[in-house]
Amino acid sequence: MSRVEAFHILDRRVPDGIPLFASWWWRTLFAGTSLGLVPVLAVAWAFIDVPFGHWMEANWPTLFTRVSGLGSPAAWLLVCASIYLAAAALRARHAARWAFLLLAEIAVAILVCGFIHLLANGFERFMDGSGAPTWSHLIPSVRCATIAAAAWTCRLRWPASRVFGAVTVAMVIAAEIALGTVFLSDAIAGAWIGVVAAVVLPWVWWRVQPDTMPRINRAVPSAP
């Protein structure tokens, strides 16, 4: 039996260096949260998005709308790629692996958000203008997904940064809604997609190439 399979289904503890998703408890938690968000997003999409968006536009300080720039996917991809290339050239493997991990997480989050957008557009065309134009706003926020993935990865790399990361994600979500770029349901969905990408990809890497995975808190144990 592998180390992953040995984890008890109700055990929240995982050894140092092992991704949370290796535990059945954490898998169940993330799966349950994902399913639980579906009715929440449906209610927000149908009843809350528009009035809440107008309220945020009227009450959110204009100064703080610039915070949304922290979630720019292009900037994060460029910075991560630059750090990866520089670290690889300098043979700083640890930094290069972290940069590559975050680069992959953001790329996956962007692809998932884009795929959902395509599905929404396809459904809108299928409805053929029969009174459902609001389907077009079923667009998970790429910026929220990007900043959420970055915040979770920074939490893995620097555990003390979790509060700062959570506040930053909340600020970007609020700024995106206040700018009218996305609705509340889109921001929440995007942020959750970013978190899931940042949770699943380290586990996949650990399962495939555990010896090359970035260290989480401490050195990674031997392969299962």
14 and 7 in contact (C-beta within 8 Å)? yes
In the prediction, which pLDDT does 214 show?
86
Strand partners, 218: 216
- Taken as a whole, the chain contains a residue count of 224
What are the sequence ranges of the domains in the chain?
A: 21-212
99 and 80 in contact (C-beta within 8 Å)? yes
pTM: 0.87
Tens digit of pLDDT per residue, the chain (224 long)?
Answer: 344 444 565 667 777 788 889 888 889 899 999 999 999 998 998 889 989 999 998 998 887 888 999 999 999 999 999 999 999 999 999 999 999 999 999 999 999 999 988 887 766 565 555 444 444 466 899 999 999 999 999 998 888 888 999 999 999 999 999 998 889 999 999 999 999 999 999 999 998 998 888 877 544 444 44
Structure token digits, residue 3: 């180390």
Whole-number Å distance between alpha carbons of 67 and 178: 11
- How many whole angstroms from its chain centre is CA 117? 16
pLDDT tens digits, 35-57: 999 999 989 988 899 899 999 98
Which residues contact residue 102 at a Cβ distance below 8 angstroms, ignoring those fewer than 6 apart?
76, 80, 149, 150, 153
Buried b (16+ CB within 10 A) or exposed e, 171-183: bbbbbbbbbebbb
Which of 115, 126, 197 lies closest to 156 in space, CA to CA? 197
pLDDT tens digits, 123-162: 656 555 544 444 446 689 999 999 999 999 999 888 888 8
